Amino acid sequence: MTRNSEMLQVLRRKIPAFTCEPGCHDCCGPVTASSEEMARLPIRTDAEHAAALAAWSCPHLGPDGCRVYAERPLICRLFGTTPGLPCPRGKCPEVMIDPRIERRIHRYLEQTRQVLV
């Protein structure tokens, strides 16, 4: 396991979970991820990427929501867990993310090459 991969697992575990409104995917859109995260996602065709971008959406969003939920990028996991990225539907975990962890996540994002998912 590479250092980036280990860091990714650690950070993922430290993001508090919460339950979204059923069927909601309002916060999904074009997002970026590190190559470590991209390697865990299924490949989408150029046409699928183009169609998603044209709709300001994500190529992994399906009719029933995120099709890669277990491997969704850090930025998707962070959404709703910090006052900086509030859920428009008012959903959030019981305890918001520890600001130190949030800073570590932002450092990880800055230090890894981010590409459009």
Closest approach of ligand SF4 to the CB of residue 100, in Å: 22
Distance of CA 57 to the CA centre of its chain: 13
- The secondary element (H helix, E strand) that includes residue 54 is helix 46-54
Strand-pairing partners, residue 115, are 33
Q: Is 79 in the site for ligand SF4 (CB under 6 A)?
A: yes
How far is residue 27's CA from residue 46's CA, in Å, rounded to a whole number?
Answer: 23
Taking the least distance from each CB to ligand SF4, the nearer of 67 and 104 is 67
User: Which amino acid does the sequence have at 95?
Assistant: V
In the bound state with ligand SF4, the residue whose beta carbon lies nearer, of 5 and 27, is 27
Binding of ligand SF4 by 66 (CB under 6 A): yes
State yes or no: residue 96 binds ligand SF4 (CB under 6 A): no
Tell me, rounded to whole angstroms, the distance of Cα 106 from its chain centroid. Answer: 12
Q: Which residues bind ligand SF4 (CB under 6 A)?
A: 20-21, 24-28, 31, 58, 60-61, 66, 68, 72-73, 76, 79-80, 87-89, 91, 117
